[in-house]
Amino acid sequence: SFVYTVVMALVLAFASVAAAEEKTYINGIDANYPPFAYVDKDGKPAGFDVDSMNWIAAKMGFKVVHKPMDWDGIVPSLLAKKIDMVCSGMSITDARKKQITFSEPYWTVSQVFVAKKDSKLSVDDVYKGKKKLGVQRGTSEADALQKQAPEKGWNFELRFYDSAPLAIEDVLNGRIDAAGMDILPAEDAAAKKPVKILGTFGEPEDFGVATRNEDTELRGKINEGYKLLMADPYWQQLKDKYLQK
C-alpha cells in the first residue's frame, strides 16, 4: 500500500499540473446577434457560435469565457488583449485582415434588406430616391454600402446603429425604410416581429474566428477544433437548433 500511495500521489500531482496548464481564452461577442450569439433567459451567453466554441474548447483542452461587448470596438479590444478571439458572426474581410488573422471559414451568409411586413419596397427601390437605410456600426455591410454609394450613384441616407435589433426597431417605428444585415439575424427578426426580408444585396461573406496575428497556437487549436466539430454529429445538431428551419 506504500506503492499505492506513491502512485496515487504522482497521479494527483500530474492531474493538477495538467489542469493548471489549461489556458483560459476570452471570446468577445456581440450578444445582440441571434442566432450566432445572444444572452439567454438566464443571462447566459448562448447561440451557434457560443456553443461551437464551447465544444471546441472542451475538445482541444482550453477554457473559454464569452464576454459581451460593443461590436464597433471589438477589433481594437482584440488588439489591446482585452479579449483573445472573436467568434461571433464576424465576416472575413480584406479590411480586417490588415489588422488580425482569421481562422478557416466555418459558415457563409448572404446579406439582406429588411423592411416592415407591409412595405411595397423592392431591393432596387432601396438604392433609389433618398431612402433611409439602417446598418449596424462597424459591420462589413456598413462599410460596403458606404464605400460603393458614390460610384454606384446610390443616394440613400445611411443611419448607424449599435446592434441589428436597434435598426429593426427603427424599421418598425418608421424612422428608416429598411435595414441591411446578415440573413440569419434578419430571419430571426422576421420570425418574431412584423418585418420581412426584401431580398439580398452585395456578395455572400464567410464567417471566421478573429485572432491576433501572433496567436498561432490558439488559431491552430481553433482550426483543428472546427475540423473535429464538423465531422461530429454535434455539428448537425447545432445547425438544426440555430441555423435551419
Residues of the shown chain interacting with ligand ARG in the complex, contacts defined by CB under 6 A: 30, 33, 36, 71, 88-91, 136, 139-141, 182, 205
Residue closer to ligand ARG, measured from CB, 97 or 128: 97
Residue 139 Cβ vs ligand ARG, minimum distance, rounded to whole Å: 3
Residue 80's Cβ-count burial label (10 Å; 0-12, 13-18, 19+) is exposed
Distances (CA, A) of 199 to 132, 137, 181, 202: 17, 21, 11, 11
Residue 29 Cβ vs ligand ARG, minimum distance, rounded to whole Å: 7
CA distance 66 to 85: 10
Residue closer to ligand ARG, measured from CB, 110 or 223: 110
Residue 200 Cβ vs ligand ARG, minimum distance, rounded to whole Å: 13
Residue closer to ligand ARG, measured from CB, 56 or 144: 144
Residue closer to ligand ARG, measured from CB, 88 or 103: 88
Residue 181 Cβ vs ligand ARG, minimum distance, rounded to whole Å: 7
Residue closer to ligand ARG, measured from CB, 62 or 71: 71
Residue closer to ligand ARG, measured from CB, 75 or 126: 75
Residue 172 Cβ vs ligand ARG, minimum distance, rounded to whole Å: 19
CA gyration radius for the chain? 21
Residue 105 Cβ vs ligand ARG, minimum distance, rounded to whole Å: 12
